[in-house]
Amino acid sequence: MEEVNLSYKEVVEKIKSKKINNILFLTGAGISTSSGIPDFRSPNGLYSRLQKYNLEYPEQIFEINYFKKNQMPFYEMDKEFFSNKPHFTSAHYFMAEVYRREQLLYVFSQNVDGLELEAGLPLQKLCQVHGNYRGAKCSKCGFKHDIIKYKEFVQQQVIYKCESCKRGAVRPNVVFFGERLDKEFAKNTYKIAAADCVFIMGTSMQVAPFNLTVDKISKNVPVIVVNRDMVYLPENKYIHLKNDIDDNIEKLMTDLGWDFPKIERNYPPKWFSGSSTSEKNEESDEEEEKQDKEKIYENQEELKNIEQKFEDLNF
C-alpha cells in the first residue's frame, strides 16, 4: 500500500463534500467498551467470577473443545452478558449514520453483540466475522434452535440439550476458537478493494486472518485508526485518533457538522468515562506512545509469521 498524505482535516472535508462515498469499517471489541458489556480481565470482571471452574487461561472459555466438555462457564458468562442489556455507542451510531447518508460500503466486525444493528445499520451491510446471537444450534449435530429458548436455559443456568440428537449442548451461533470463521467473511472481502476510505476502530488488528484484510485496501486510500493503541499496518501510514474512541468519534461527527444523540457511557471498572485527553498530561501520552511503538515492533515478526501461514487462504 502506498503512503497516503491526506490530513485529518482533508479527510473530514472529503466526507462532508461526499467526495468519499464508499467508507469501509473494520471494527473490534473497543467500540463496545462503553456499552455496558462487562470486560473479562479486570478485578471485578467475568474471569474473576469464573475462576471456580479452574480455567487454565481466560480464553479457554471460548474454545470449542472445552465447551463440549464443560458448558457451564460459557453459560454463566452468557447470563452476565444478557443481564447487562448493552446499548449502542457513538461508534456504532457513526457507522449507522454513514449508512443513512449513503456513504457506507460495508462493515466487518469482530464483535458478536450486534449493537451495529441496534444503532440502525441494516444486516446486509454487516459481516459479524465471529458469529452472532441471532440464532443457536447444537454443538454436536448442528440442529438449529431458537435463541430465545437458549436464553431461557441460560437464565436458569441449566444446560440446554439438543431437541434433535438429545446429546449435544445448545450454543449460540458465535465462532469458538477452533472453528471456521463465518462464511460471509470470505464471501465479502472483495469489497475491501472498492473502499475509498477505511476506518479501523477498536481493534489492534493482531488476530489472523482478520488482520490480513488490510492487505486488500487499495492504494492511496486514507486509513483512519480510531483506537487507544497504535496498530501495525504493513508499509502503510495512517491517521491515528488515539485515546477514548467515543470522544474521537463524537469530535469527528461535530467536525463533519452531523447531529448525534447524547449516548450514555457505561464503562467497565478498569476504564474511565469522559475525555481521556483532558485527564492525561503530555508526558504520560509520550510514554504511552513509546510503549505502543515498542509493542508493535515486537509483534511485527510474529505477525509476519501469521501472514505466511494464511497467505494461501482465498478470502
Task: Supply the residues annotated as catalytic.
Answer: 130
Residues 199 and 104: their CA atoms lie apart, in Å, by 11
Quote the CA–CA distance of 118 and 112 in Å, as a whole number. 13
| Number of alpha carbons in the 13 Å side-chain half-sphere of residue 273 | 11
In a 3-state reduction of DSSP, which class is residue 303? helix
3-state secondary structure at position 50: helix
Query: How many Å apart are CA 22 and CA 191, to the nearest integer?
Result: 10
Write down the residue that cell numbers 479527510 correspond to.
11
Written as nine digits, the cell of 287 is 510514554
Alpha helices in 101-228 (DSSP H): 115-118, 147-156, 183-188
